[in-house]
Amino acid sequence: MTPENSPSPGTVDASALGLIPAPRTLTAAAAGPYPLGYRTPLTARPGTEGVARWLRATLGPPTGLPLPEGDGTGTSAGDGSGRGSTGQGIVLELDDALAPEGYRLAVEANAVRLTGGTAAGVFRGAQTLRQLLGPDAFRRAPLAPGRTWEVPPVVVEDEPRFGWRGMMLDVCRHFLPKDDVLRYLDLLAAHKLNVFHFHLTDDQGWRIEIKRYPCLTEVGSWRSRTKYGHRASELWDETPYGGFYTQEDIREIVAYAAERHIRVVPEIDIPGHSQAAISAYPELGNTDVVDTTALSVWDTWGVNPNVLAPTDDTLRFFEGVLEEVLELFPAETSPFVHMGGDECPKDQWKESPLAQARIAELGVKDEDGLQSWFIRHFDAWLTARGRRLIGWDEILEGGLAEGAAVSSWRGYGGGIAAAEAGHDVVMCPEQQVYLDHRQDGGPDEPMPIGYVRTLENVYRFEPVPPGLSEEAARHILGTQANVWTEVMQNRARVDYQVFPRLAAFAEVAWSALPAPADRDFAAFDARMRSAHYARLDALGVDYRPPGGPYPRQQRPGILGRPLEGEPPVV
């Protein structure tokens, strides 16, 4: 049962514990609470050693407790200060009878026993353990050295609803330094999310070092200025802007994610959203209809007309890019590679004699078929190397490659069509889970974009649309929230747009909730207020307060593009 439907009164105060996402069952333990002291051991059974390292590194700074290695046989003892603990301490172990990401956390008389179906399950349970210790367990140093830490007397049994629970972060429109990316991986992990979709290339900047093609970052990662606000704004920031991740940075990010059992999905966007690449290597563009040597990295927002030329040389170029990408993102961490495929205007192909000749040569129907040819080529190329292609729902146009998966962003429709055709789908409709959309209809929202999507709106989002056949529903891998950063110039702005709504989204993705209209938002909000906002405070997250933005979070006079009314369900 969820905290909204907790056991009899006085058994477990679910609201006070404030567990987010809500676990499947939360019951009272026969024993406890369980004190943690300076000599409390942490025992890692085979396969859980990585989680033990994470627990020590994460809980050590705020608690001051070393959690020494134990063998689980009751060898620890108190130290006479009242801070000690007898018995087995914290015990981590595997049980393959549980779901892969499922776990059981039980407070017993002589141990806190955390069992998972896999190491990932144990790690998800470790996040629950951290929440049970209270918001101060999310800090970086002890507030009161020597204080008593206790695990409340509970039994938590839990597993996720969906296997794909993600967030996409756009670092092209506005770049986040490596340390900020690592911080977001920690925030995803804290909310039991397990996919980080890394949007690395776009018209406004190329953000990943490719050694074979150095101009991609030497030229393509920098723009001369930046539009300030919506693209209709008359304001500009004239400061040259850019940045990229070295290959060493990427390896570190991927390794950091893997330690937190997060898959990283790199995105290399083709054949549209490619002006940064074309500015670095003009031969990639449609040189027979536009002077591509005059193009620079784009300094504004929207859909760009400059797309890749449908040539064999273009294919070879991006195969070279992907060879390095696959080496940086190993298959065990990144089984999927996102190839974009969205918002590719066909005007240049319609005007290009070369593109028209290619359409005739390939025997495809039209320009949509030409885009499909791009995607099909890289689907086969990635499949031959043990990876899977995923792309935005426009890749359905012209025919979808057999093994490709779809990120359904324009609404539910693309995902429904793909799932009914037997393709795997990640649901991320912009009308519901684009976190760049504004959170309130009031005048103080900074650079207001899109429809109003409140915390409650996100909590009532349902990834599986009604009416989907049972067989098609099995193709819904899960869901993700997307964060496009045109009007998010820095980490604080990203925090404001993402939180607290990502907490609601995480519960939708993880928990077995009722139908949207039946969800107890009041109980969720109570858990947020009793504990989770305090956790975000401890983590330094610059979230939108429930009462509206602080003056420092507002951006008066900066043009946005608010859309009125309820978003359409399409």
Q: Give catalytic residue positions.
A: 202, 273, 343
Which residues have a Cβ under 8 Å from the Cβ of 124 and sit 6 or more positions away? 101, 103, 116, 158, 160, 192, 261
User: What's the half-sphere exposure (Cβ side, CA atoms, 13 Å) at 25?
Assistant: 10
Contact criterion met (CB below 8 Å) for 358 and 313: no
Which residues have a Cβ under 8 Å from the Cβ of 392 and sit 6 or more positions away? 340, 341, 342, 343, 406, 407, 409
**Rounded CA separation 496/449 (Å):** 13
In order of 273, 327, 425, 484, the CA distances from 217 in angstroms are 16, 18, 32, 21
Strands 205-206 and 201-202: antiparallel
E-strand ranges in 143-250 read: 149-151, 154-158, 164-170, 195-199, 201-202, 205-206, 222-223, 226-227, 236-237, 241-242
Question: What single DSSP character describes residue 249?
Answer: H
Residue whose entry in the numeric block shows the structure tokens 């729902």? 393
Helix axes 247-259, 49-63, angle to 10 degrees: 90
Of 498, 525, 515, nearest in space to 190 by CA? 498
Distance between alpha carbon 268 and the CA centroid of its chain, in Å? Answer: 17
User: Quick check: bond before 443 cis, omega within 30?
Assistant: no
E-strand ranges in 228-370 read: 236-237, 241-242, 263-270, 336-340
Distance between alpha carbon 331 and the CA centroid of its chain, in Å? Answer: 18
In single-letter form, the type of residue at position 479 comes to T
- Say how many C-beta atoms besides its own lie within 10 A of residue 449's C-beta: 21
Contact criterion met (CB below 8 Å) for 142 and 175: no
In single-letter form, the type of residue at position 443 comes to P
3-class SS letters over 381-439: HHHCCCCEEEEEHHHHCCCCCCCCEEEECCCCHHHHHHHHCCCCEEECCHHHHECCCCC
DSSP string, 496-530: HHHTTHHHHHHHHHHS----GGG--HHHHHHHIII
Question: What single DSSP character describes residue 113?
Answer: E
Burial 209-227 (b: 16+ CB within 10 A, else e): bbeebeebbebbbbbeebb
Give the phi and the psi of residue 525 in degrees, each rounded to 5.
-60, -35
Which residues have a Cβ under 8 Å from the Cβ of 551 and sit 6 or more positions away? none
